[in-house]
Amino acid sequence: MKYIASENMALLDALALLSPGSSMTSLRSWLKSGRVYVDGVQQKNPKALLQKGQAVTLSARQRFAQGVVPILYDDSHIVVVDKPEGILSVATPYEKGETVHAFLKAKYGSGKVFPVHRLDQDTSGVMVFALSEKARDHLKDLFAKHEIERIYMAIVEGKVFPETGTWTSHQYEDSNYYVHNTMDSEKGKFALTHYTVKGNSKLYTLLELKLETGRKNQIRAHCEMVDHPIAGDKKYGANSNPAKRVCLHARYLAFHHPITGKKMEFNSPLPEVFHKIVKPSES
């Protein structure tokens, strides 16, 4: 559902025009549950003032795994989720229960959920899991061939120049799980990250980052390499923590369905706290 504001108005009034048959209680519940977006940005304030021409959209009612992890899509072969920040993707020797993988196994069956990639615990955003062995094998092959499109958003310290560019290095992980950059091709694996500046504030820059390779901690290590560590990422050199989290978010994931071949695209909106630190540019 979509409504284009015909004049300046409060968001709650726009929702009433979007769905004239719905009660005010329903409209407020949509806002509270995060289903309302203004120009693609999640908005929960019923008193937010819209400008003429702004678009109000209502997303489908969300489903969750264990009431914690939003499910964006599922079928008999794959499930796509919007991972919250602070939750591990899969089990570690120190944590086995509170993970996205564990929550999905509780929903779909313990032997039916297969991880095919990871997001760091402090990173939020779009992830895909396989629900069949055939899908698992095909998705892993797509990741290995870099045929899955992944776009991240990050708030980094300082001003980044030029506004578009590419970072390359070879990366390797030491015994303390820290990823280093090197120019030595024999010591590390090639890593390539494209970036575009999407907004600035006095102290920070909002970056859109597109992966050509998918090394562990690739973006975090590359940001440190160019002296613009991700805000909140103390492990990789950050001096500030404005959001009380690592400001890295997996915004977009696209791939061809491992069984049907259909193009699949998934988006996760920029976390609300990011907007409070750097206002995204209009472009």
At 215-244, the pLDDT tens digits run: 999 999 999 999 999 999 999 999 999 999
pLDDT given at position 95: 67
pLDDT confidence bin for 17, thresholds 50/70/90: very high
Report the chain's terminal Cα–Cα distance, integer Å. 24
Predicted TM-score (pTM) of the model is 0.80
Average of per-residue pLDDT values in the chain:
93
Same domain assignment for residues 48 and 67: no
In sequence order, the β-bridge partners of residue 204 are 157
Domain ranges, residue 28 = 2-58
pLDDT given at position 215: 93
CATH number (domain holding residue 152): 3.30.2350.10
User: What are 247-269's pLDDT values in tens digits?
Assistant: 999 999 999 999 999 999 999 98
Of residues 33 and 165, the one with the higher pLDDT is 165
**Residue 30 belongs to some domain of the structure:** yes
User: Which of 25, 40, 58 lies at the terminal end of a domain, its last residue?
Assistant: 58
Same domain assignment for residues 74 and 174: yes
CB-count exposure of residue 180 (10 Å: 0-12, 13-18, 19+) = middle
Same domain assignment for residues 147 and 166: yes
Q: What is the mean pLDDT of residues 165-192?
A: 97
Domain total of the chain? 2
Which uninterrupted H or E stretch holds 157?
Answer: strand 149-157
pLDDT given at position 282: 62
Percent of the chain with pLDDT over 70: 98
User: Which sequence positions are flagged as catalytic?
Assistant: 120
pLDDT given at position 283: 52
User: What are 47-70's pLDDT values in tens digits?
Assistant: 999 999 999 998 877 787 878 899
Same domain assignment for residues 206 and 174: yes
Instruction: Quote the CA–CA distance of 138 and 212 in Å, as a whole number.
Output: 19
Same domain assignment for residues 172 and 232: yes
**Residue 282 belongs to some domain of the structure:** no
Q: Give residues with Cβ within 8 angstroms of 171, minimum separation 6.
A: 179, 180, 181, 182, 188, 189, 191, 215, 216, 217, 218, 221
**Residue 283 belongs to some domain of the structure:** no
Q: By C-alpha distance, which of 278, 244, 264, 227 is closest to 72? A: 264
Q: What is the mean pLDDT of residues 140-160?
A: 96
